[in-house]
Amino acid sequence: MRLKCPLCGDRDRREFYYYGAEDYLHRPAEGAPLAEWDNYLHLRDNPAGVLRDLWYHEAGCSQWLLVTRNTVTHEIASVELVAERAK
């Protein structure tokens, strides 16, 4: 598996650290109901198909990446910088 880091280009999977689902980018606001926090922390989809998750380019540019990939075909649809998304 190779990821195309927007800054560093095509890199081997071993340069990256896996964090988890995209859900971690959507932290509930302060005072949100418990069900929302429960969802944020524990409830994950496990799709056979398109999945978005977070990877860290620890052996390269030290950026968090949002990777859209397909768990069935192993196709990597896109790799975005989390930092650029927030702008």
Partner 1 sequence: MPELIAKSALDGRSLTLAGVTLAEASAGPITSIAILQDGAKDVAKGLKPLGLAFPKPQQFTEKAGVRIVWTGRDQAFLIGVAPPELEGAAVTDQSDGWTVLAVTGVAAVDVLARLVPMDLRPAAFPVKQVLRTQVSHMNAIILRTGDYAVEIMVFRSMARTAWHEVQTAMEMVAARSGIKI
Q: How far is the CB of 62 from partner 1 (least distance, A)?
A: 6
In sign, the C-alpha dihedral spanning 24, 27, 28, 31 is positive
Interface with partner 1 includes 76 (CB under 8 A)?
A: no
Nearer to partner 1, 76 or 81 (CB): 81
- Which of 1, 12, 37, 44 forms a contact with partner 1 (CB under 8 A)? 12
For residue 38 the two structure tokens come to 């429960």
- Residue 63 engages partner 1 in binding (rule: CB under 8 A): yes
Burial tier of 21 (Cβ tally within 10 Å: 0-12, 13-18, 19+): middle
> Between 9 and 49, whose beta carbon lies closer to partner 1?
9
- The CA–CA distances, whole Å, from 55 to 30, 33, 34 equal 26, 28, 27
Query: Letter for the amino acid at 58?
Result: E
Interface pick for partner 1 out of 61, 66, 68, 80 (rule CB under 8 A): 61
Restricted to residues 15-34, the positions that interact with partner 1 (CB under 8 A) are: 15
